[in-house]
């Protein structure tokens, strides 16, 4: 694959999508308002940024089959964070130095939408390097830098697993963090640049203390409510998939002293979280699926999706995640609005938003299909517990003050995302209801239940 006569090209990828996307949209599990591939495979969110008045979300994509393959970058954009359109494929592995365009990030560089990504090729001694591509037409097409790879090797002492660059602006310079490992411990390598083309290694931003995994994927640095955070997907940290490291970053030394960490999402189908700086707020998307899972939608020609956007905040050392207000634009018919939880019997849909308010910090919300329970969310003894058939139950403490309790959920054909008590505990899962209806029932001291049908957020056919 790593030769000038590569099989892959942007033109071929877009032709494949044009040929297959309409049929995929007609399949019963095709998501209504989440970003999913027009056809083929999707994993990590990439390149999140705002440029030219639009939000841009890229993702790892293999358009030719609903299984992982040589990675391309798919692309969707939005003017309002609620309604999206598919854009042409942004990157294909079409250069001699890459057999796959792995994960990375994006930025607006003086009006130019700029991507930084990992070029991957297992056939090379240095299998992962960092590269740049720019768009001069608002994200329709991208030109790869003549200087690629702009970071041609990992730092001395680090392993050849060296991927997923995250770029951000710090004063008059650009900073970039890359996931890697040294001495069998996960770490994040930090670089700085004046022009995104020429990078200097600044040092190790932070690393595992021995208990935070053997390699760090998808590092994503951000500041939320004055708190420095590094989101990572640690490999080899048993029982944990995506965590947020809380600490203090010193831009002069390039070091971040870690104070504590928190699991981002307790669900089994959440990985590779990435953030977007939206001026006065930070937004986050995650991959709404997981490795080594069955993907029933493969039979329909697609697999994988991204979560809805989540607005981040930090309160008393806790990371909170909440759906942004823009998603209210998707609301259609009111399906329930009552102080009687029995009103939820009329919520018989495959796509809706649900809010259950309780007068006390106890109660339960159960989602089910014709076969039985899909997901149970239970609040008791100061914690939120989540249980699915065939998966271990998980719990999270609810330590922050809250007036009673609230469970908020977004259901979209084959997915459920739950937010408890203002996003203090979150749970994401893929479900495949037998009858394509997700029913719900609430118990406990219910104050109010509300539900709204949510409409299709996408154009019928991708560009």
Q: What is the pLDDT of residue 6?
A: 52
Q: HEC states along the chain?
A: CCCCCCCCCHHHHHHHHHHHHHHHHCCCCCCCCCCCCCCEEEEEEEEEEEECCEEEEEEEEECCCCCCCCCEEEEEEECCCCCEEECCCCECCCCCCCCEEEEEEEEEECCEEEEEEEEECCCCCCCEEEEEEEECCCCCCCEECCCCCCECCCCCCCCCCCEEEEEEEECCEEEEEEEEEECCEEEEEEEEECCCCCCEEEEEEEECCCCCCCEEEEEEEEEECCEEEEEEEEECCCCCCCEEEEEEEECCCCEEEEEEEEECCCCCCCEEEEEEECCCCEEEEEECCCCCCCCHHHHHCEECCECCCEEEEEECCEEEEECCHHHHHHEEEEEEEECCHHHHHHCCECEEEEEEEECCCCEEEEEEECCEEEEEEEEECCEEEEECCCCCCEEEECCCCCCCEEEEEEEECCEEEEEECCCCEEEEEECCCCCCCEEEEEECCEEEEEEEEECCCECCCCC
pLDDT tens digit string along 219-278?
A: 999 999 999 999 999 999 999 999 999 999 999 999 999 999 999 999 999 999 999 999
pLDDT of residue 459: 75
Taking the whole predicted model, whether its pTM rises above 0.95 is answered as yes
Q: Give the catalytic positions in this structure.
A: 44
User: Residues 178-220: pLDDT tens digits?
Assistant: 999 999 999 999 999 999 999 999 999 999 999 999 999 999 9
Which residues of the chain have a pLDDT value below 70? 1-6, 460-463
Q: Report pLDDT for 7.
A: 82
Whole-number pLDDT of residue 301 = 98
Q: Specify the pLDDT at position 5.
A: 44
């Amino acid at each position: 694959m790593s030769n000038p006569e590569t099989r892959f090209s942007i033109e071929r990828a877009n032709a494949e999508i044009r040929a297959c996307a309409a049929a995929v949209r007609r399949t019963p599990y095709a998501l209504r308002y989440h970003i999913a591939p027009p056809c083929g495979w999707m994993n990590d969110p990439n390149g999140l940024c705002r440029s030219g008045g639009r939000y841009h979300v890229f993702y790892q994509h293999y358009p030719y089959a609903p299984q992982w393959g040589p990675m391309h970058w798919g692309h969707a954009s939005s003017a309002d964070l609620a309604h999206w359109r598919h854009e042409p494929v942004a990157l294909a592995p079409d250069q001699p130095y890459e057999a796959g365009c792995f994960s990375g990030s994006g930025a607006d560089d003086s009006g130019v939408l700029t991507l930084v990504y990992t070029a991957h090729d297992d056939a090379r001694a240095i299998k992962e390097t960092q590269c740049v591509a720019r768009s001069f037409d608002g994200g329709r097409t991208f030109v790869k830098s003549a200087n690629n790879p702009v970071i041609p090797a990992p730092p001395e002492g680090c392993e050849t697993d060296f991927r997923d660059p995250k770029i951000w602006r710090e004063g008059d310079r650009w900073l970039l963090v890359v996931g890697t490992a040294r001495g069998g411990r996960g770490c994040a390598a930090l670089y700085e640049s004046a022009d995104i083309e020429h990078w200097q290694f600044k040092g190790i931003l932070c690393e595992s203390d021995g208990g935070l995994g053997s390699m760090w994927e998808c590092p994503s640095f951000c500041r939320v409510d004055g708190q420095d955070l590094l989101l990572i997907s640690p490999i080899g940290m048993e029982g944990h998939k995506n965590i947020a490291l809380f600490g203090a970053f010193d831009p002069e030394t390039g070091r971040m002293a870690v104070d504590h960490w928190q699991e981002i999402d307790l669900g089994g189908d959440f990985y590779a979280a990435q953030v977007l700086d939206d001026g006065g707020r930070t937004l986050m998307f995650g991959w709404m699926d997981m490795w080594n899972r069955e993907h029933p939608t493969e039979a329909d020609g697609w697999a994988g999706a991204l979560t809805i956007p989540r607005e981040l905040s930090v309160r008393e050392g806790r990371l909170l995640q909440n759906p942004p207000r823009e998603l209210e634009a998707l609301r259609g018919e009111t399906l329930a609005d009552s102080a009687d939880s029995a009103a939820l019997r009329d919520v018989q849909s495959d796509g809706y938003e649900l809010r259950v308010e309780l007068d006390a910090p106890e109660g339960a919300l159960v989602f089910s299909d014709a076969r039985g329970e899909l997901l149970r969310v239970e609040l008791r003894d100061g914690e939120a517990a989540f249980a699915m058939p065939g998966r271990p139950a998980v719990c999270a403490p609810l330590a922050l003050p809250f007036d009673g309790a609230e469970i908020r959920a977004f259901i979209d054909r084959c997915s459920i995302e739950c937010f408890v008590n203002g996003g203090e505990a979150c749970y994401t899962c893929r479900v495949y209801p037998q009858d394509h209806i997700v029913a719900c029932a609430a118990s406990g001291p219910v104050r109010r239940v509300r539900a709204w049908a949510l409409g299709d957020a996408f154009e019928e056919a991708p560009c």
